[in-house]
């Protein structure tokens, strides 16, 4: 059975942030995702997690309200990216995060791609024990984001050829970008090192969209150290909507098929 991580930015919003790891533990999750843990000191996170595994964190995005979405592909912002990456690597090391999602930022064109490739090579050299991910994001949720196509991401990954750099497969974004998330999975699953799930088309509890979650679980179960992160907006209370997690863990019937 694969490991499931609760994304604490999206789930358990009914309680304060530092209470959410314990709620995730109580309700059956194996670990958590922390998108942007940087507003709180590492020591406070360590106390709140109390040994709860961390599957993933993101690199610092910058000023979100002003439109920043990371810096890895932004020409002229190399120093900003590298300072932020080293901070992410410190948090990852202290919190035991298995992966860091490198946010490319709002950019476009060949120079942006060259900047991204250079920054990724630098990041891999700086953190030789850390696994990195790239995640294509759809333009409706993330306007102007550089990485907005799974084939584009695959080409960059293949060009770098780094075993510790892989594809973050988010069902929601795959469906929004390409229509057929199952086809995206079949094409790119060998590049995937982290998975995220949500329902389609409303991004509520996982299920729907013609994608078989049990089949995904079976596939991930055969992959090395790949987490399934729950990154969705609960339709009501988080705990009340965890039927999907209970069903997948007990294999009590197919959902999302």
* Residues that are catalytic: 135, 231
Cα(223)–Cα(104) distance, integer angstroms: 26
Domain annotation covers residue 199: yes
Domain annotation covers residue 80: yes
Specify the 3-state DSSP secondary structure of 84.
helix
What's the DSSP call for residue 59?
A: P
For 35-50, the pLDDT digits (tens) are 999 999 999 999 999 9
Q: How many domains does the chain have?
A: 1
Calculated CA dihedral for residues 92, 84, 227, 245, nearest 10 degrees: 100
Cα(228)–Cα(73) distance, integer angstroms: 26
Of 181, 174, 169, the C-alpha closest to 228 is: 169
Domain annotation covers residue 255: no
- Residue 248: is its pLDDT beyond 90? yes
What pLDDT does residue 116 have?
A: 98
For 129-154, the pLDDT digits (tens) are 999 999 999 999 999 999 999 999 99
Domain annotation covers residue 63: yes
Cβ 20 vs Cβ 8: under 8 Å: yes
Of 95, 17, 97, 25, the C-alpha closest to 245 is: 25
Confidence of residue 209 (pLDDT cuts 50, 70, 90): confident
Hey, what are 70's tokens?
């990371």
What pLDDT does residue 255 have?
A: 41
Domain annotation covers residue 256: no
Domain annotation covers residue 176: yes
- Residue 99: is its pLDDT beyond 80? yes
Domain annotation covers residue 68: yes
- Residue 252: is its pLDDT beyond 80? no
Range of the domain at 214: 3-250
What pLDDT does residue 210 have?
A: 85
Domain annotation covers residue 257: no
Cα(57)–Cα(176) distance, integer angstroms: 23
Q: Does the pTM exceed 0.85?
A: yes
**Domain CATH for 11:** 3.20.20.150
- Residue 256: is its pLDDT beyond 70? no
What pLDDT does residue 9 have?
A: 96
């Amino acid at each position: 059975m694969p490991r499931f991580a609760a994304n604490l930015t999206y789930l358990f919003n009914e309680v304060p942030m530092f209470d959410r790891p314990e709620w995730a533990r109580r309700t059956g999750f194996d670990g958590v995702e922390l998108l942007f843990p940087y507003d709180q000191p590492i020591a406070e996170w360590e106390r709140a997690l109390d040994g709860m595994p961390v599957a993933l964190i993101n690199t610092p995005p910058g000023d979100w309200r002003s439109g920043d979405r990371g810096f890895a592909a932004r020409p002229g912002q190399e120093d900003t990216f590298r300072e932020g990456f080293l901070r992410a690597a410190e948090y990852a090391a202290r919190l035991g995060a298995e992966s860091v999602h490198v946010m490319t930022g709002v950019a476009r064109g060949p120079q942006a791609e060259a900047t991204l490739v250079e920054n990724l090579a630098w990041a891999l050299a700086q953190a030789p024990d850390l696994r990195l991910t790239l995640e294509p994001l759809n333009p409706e949720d993330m306007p102007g984001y550089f990485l907005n196509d799974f084939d584009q991401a695959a080409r960059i990954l293949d060009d770098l050829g780094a075993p510790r750099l892989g594809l973050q497969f988010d069902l929601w974004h795959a469906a929004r970008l390409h229509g057929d998330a199952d086809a995206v999975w079949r094409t790119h699953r060998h590049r995937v090192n982290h998975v995220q799930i949500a329902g389609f088309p409303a991004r509520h509890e996982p299920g729907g969209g013609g994608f078989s979650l049990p089949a995904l679980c079976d596939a991930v179960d055969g992959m090395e150290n790949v987490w399934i992160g729950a990154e969705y907006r609960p339709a009501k209370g988080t705990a009340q909507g965890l039927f999907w997690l209970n069903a997948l863990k007990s294999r009590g019937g197919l959902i999302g098929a």
